[in-house]
Amino acid sequence: MKVLQVYNGLLRDIGPQKWWPISGTFKPPEFEVCVGAILTQNTSWKNVEKALQNLVGAGKTSPESIGSCPLPALEKLVRPSGFYRQKAGRLKEFSGFITSFGGDFYKSVTREELLAIKGIGRETADSMLLYACNRPVFVVDMYTRRLFSRLGLIGGDEDYDKLREMFEKSLPNNAGLYKEFHALIVEHEKRLGKEKSITARRA
C-alpha cells in the first residue's frame, strides 16, 4: 500500500475535514492557528478551545495584545490548556517575535526561524507553516506514527524529519492535500480510539 492510497482511502471513508478549525476572531486569522499550535502541546483540542475562548473574551487576539498582556493575566487565560505558565511564556515570546519580524511573517518566516524560538519544536513549527503559512510541509504527529506503523509502512521510531521527508516525497507537492491528509489521520485515529474504548467497557 502506498502513502497516497492511504490518503485516498481515508478521504473516501471519512470525508473532507477542512482544517485548521478557526473562529475568525483573531487578527490576522492565521494568528489563531499559531496560538492553537502552541496551546495544543500535550493536551486535547477541547482544552485548547476553552483557552482560545478565554483569549477572545479578554480581547487578546493579536500578537500585540498578547505581547503586552501581563504574564499572570495571560497565564490565567490559557490555564485550561494545561502547563499554562510555560505556554503563556511561549505565547508572549512568540508574539514578540511576530511584532518585531521585518516584513510579512506568514509569507516570509522560515522553519529555522520558528525552531529558534523557545518552546517551538518541529511538529509545532510545521503546523504553523502548513496551516497558517500555507506551505507544503507535512506534519508528523503521534497519530501519523501510530497509523502508518500499524500499516507496516514505517517502523514508528524514525527521526521526525526523516518521516516528514518520506511523506513529502511520496505525495504531490500540495499544501491543501497535506492539510487534509493530516486532519484525516487525526480523525481516523480518534475514532479508532473511541471504538476501542467502547469495546473495552463492554468486555
pLDDT tens across 86-130, in order? 999 999 999 999 999 988 999 999 999 999 999 999 999 999 999
Q: Please give the pLDDT value at position 22.
A: 87
Rounded Cα distance between 123 and 112, Å, is 13
Do 186 and 15 touch, CB atoms closer than 8 A?
no
Q: Please give the pLDDT value at position 21.
A: 83
C-alpha 79: how far from chain center = 19
| Alpha-carbon distance values, 142 to 99, 189, 196 (Å) | 32, 10, 17
- Give the predicted TM-score (pTM) of the model: 0.92
Q: Pick out the chain residues at pLDDT < 50.
A: 197-203
Q: Write out the three cell numbers for 145.
A: 506514527
Q: Please give the pLDDT value at position 194.
A: 66
Q: Please give the pLDDT value at position 156.
A: 85
CATH architecture of 29-132: Orthogonal Bundle (1.10)
